[in-house]
Amino acid sequence: MELIRTVNNNISSQVISEDDVTISQGNFIEANTEQVSLSHLRQDCTIPVFAKDNESTIPHFEFISAVRETAQQLFPEGTVMMPNIRTSHVIKGRIPSAIGKPAKELLEHEKTIYYERLAFMLEIPHVHTYINNQKLNLTVGGVRSYSEQNLFSKKTIERFKIFIGFKNMVCCNLCIATDGLKDDLRVSSVDELKSKTQELFLNYKREEHVDNMRNLKDFIINDEQMAHLLGKMKIYNHLRKDKKQGVFDLNITDSQINTIVKNHIDDEHFRADDDGYINLWNLYNLFTESTKSNYIDNFLSRNSNTYEFVNHLRAALKNQEDNYFLLKDIIM
């Protein structure tokens, strides 16, 4: 309770400066995105409004600032890094004086833009752990997509996604557990956004998350078992609804599965060993690597689903339970 009171008293006084903090590096998502800076979002981008009452949406830079300020208050021992920001679906416009002017003749000051979709992450490097000799930094972030808003209406509740988890420093993969993700956050103000972000961060069971990930390295499958797993994953996407009853709800695409197959052989850090064996920690990172190819809208939910799925496999192996995705002779 003392921590909560401290956050409530001090959070509004935090100021973000891009001059004194290193930006988090590495592509945590890759599909159809480009990297931009916080100052670009603040200075160069217009702010969408709700058309019927001209009320402003919460701009991207305020969303990012709210999450970073909350993180800095909850983890005050060190510095929260500046955000690594990825955007997609640029919406272009022009100022009124440029009406009728051919697009190729527009001057820079006559153009307007904003990004329909945005994802960002911020590392908290002084909070870290090691798994299988790989460093993981605590990481927070969020996603915003204006496509989820009806901007042609009056001002209404706005939707965001926020997360807290870890970033594997050897590959930039995000490791997000279910309790570290708020996939459909609905707020009406920046203050409410900060409050809900604080709530998620405080409720996140960090030690339990780390223990679960660390335990994954103790469970191993061989090449034949991996082939069976991948085949079942392929089949799962085409099962009838009644056939999926009682089977883990795996949220994965054929493209992701193909990436996992390739990286199972080729990945520098997480591929199977020369005898075809791979532990579940390495398998988990093959999965999280594949989620980078998802679009901004759904990569967080698929990342979290990956964590649940690999732990589902671990539980089946540990408890010798029958499982749709695993060969029976390895769990009997």
Q: pLDDT tens for residues 172-229? A: 999 999 999 999 999 999 999 999 999 999 999 999 999 999 999 999 999 999 999 9
Mean pLDDT of all residues in 34-42:
94
The answer to whether residues 170 and 245 belong to one domain is no
Domain count for the chain, please give it: 2
Q: Which of 205, 230, 254 is the last residue of a domain?
A: 205
Give per-residue pLDDT as tens, 138-187.
999 999 999 998 888 999 999 999 999 999 999 999 999 999 999 999 99
Q: Which has the higher per-residue pLDDT, 3 or 318? A: 318
CB 247 within 8 A of CB 237: no
The answer to whether residues 80 and 136 belong to one domain is yes
284 has pLDDT over 50: yes
The answer to which of 21-25, 53-57, 241-245 has the lowest mean pLDDT is: 21-25
Biggest CA pair distance of the chain: 74
pLDDT of residue 329: 64
The answer to whether residues 171 and 46 belong to one domain is yes
The answer to whether residues 236 and 295 belong to one domain is yes
Residue 168 lies in a domain: yes
pLDDT of residue 22: 61
CB 255 within 8 A of CB 293: yes
11 has pLDDT over 90: no
Q: What is the 3-state secondary structure (H, E, C) of 170-234?
A: CCCEEECCHHHEEEEEEECCHHHHHHHHHHHHHHCCHHHHHHHHHHHHHCEECHHHHHHHHHHHH
Residue 153, token pair as written in the block: 């209406």
The answer to whether residues 81 and 186 belong to one domain is yes
The answer to whether residues 233 and 158 belong to one domain is no
63 has pLDDT over 70: yes
Q: Which domain holds residue 72?
A: 2-205
pLDDT of residue 24: 65
Residue 105 lies in a domain: yes
Closest CA to 267 of 140, 134, 123, 86: 134
Residue 219, token pair as written in the block: 């469970």
What one-character-per-residue DSSP string does 95-143 give? Answer: -GGGTT--GGG--GGGEEEEEEEEEEEEEEEEEEEEETTEEEEEEEEEE
Interior CA angle at 67 toward 214 and 126, to 5°? 45
The answer to which of 15-24, 27-36, 285-294, 306-315 has the lowest mean pLDDT is: 15-24
The answer to whether residues 69 and 148 belong to one domain is yes
Contacts (Cβ under 8 Å, ≥6 apart) of 83: 23, 24, 38, 64, 68, 120, 121, 122, 141
Phi-psi label, residue 320: left if phi above 0, alpha if psi -120 to 50, beta otherwise: left
What percentage of the chain carries pLDDT values higher than 70?
Answer: 91
Tell the burial category of 30 from Cβ atoms under 10 Å away from its Cβ (0-12, 13-18, 19+): middle
Residue 46, token pair as written in the block: 């217009």
pLDDT of residue 213: 98
Closest CA to 55 of 216, 188, 250: 188
- Distance between start and end Cα atoms, the chain: 47
pLDDT of residue 15: 37
Task: Give the span between the Cα atoms of 171 and 26, in whole angstroms.
Answer: 8
Residue 212 lies in a domain: no
Closest CA to 300 of 103, 118, 114: 118
Residue 92 lies in a domain: yes
CB 147 within 8 A of CB 103: no
Phi, psi of 33 (to 5 degrees): -130, 160
Residue 234 lies in a domain: yes
Residue 288 lies in a domain: yes
The answer to whether residues 64 and 150 belong to one domain is yes
**Would the CA dihedral through 121, 125, 131, 134 be positive or negative?**
positive
Q: Which has the higher per-residue pLDDT, 97 or 324? A: 324
Residue 313 lies in a domain: yes
Task: Give the span between the Cα atoms of 162 and 157, in whole angstroms.
Answer: 16
- Three-state DSSP state, 279: strand
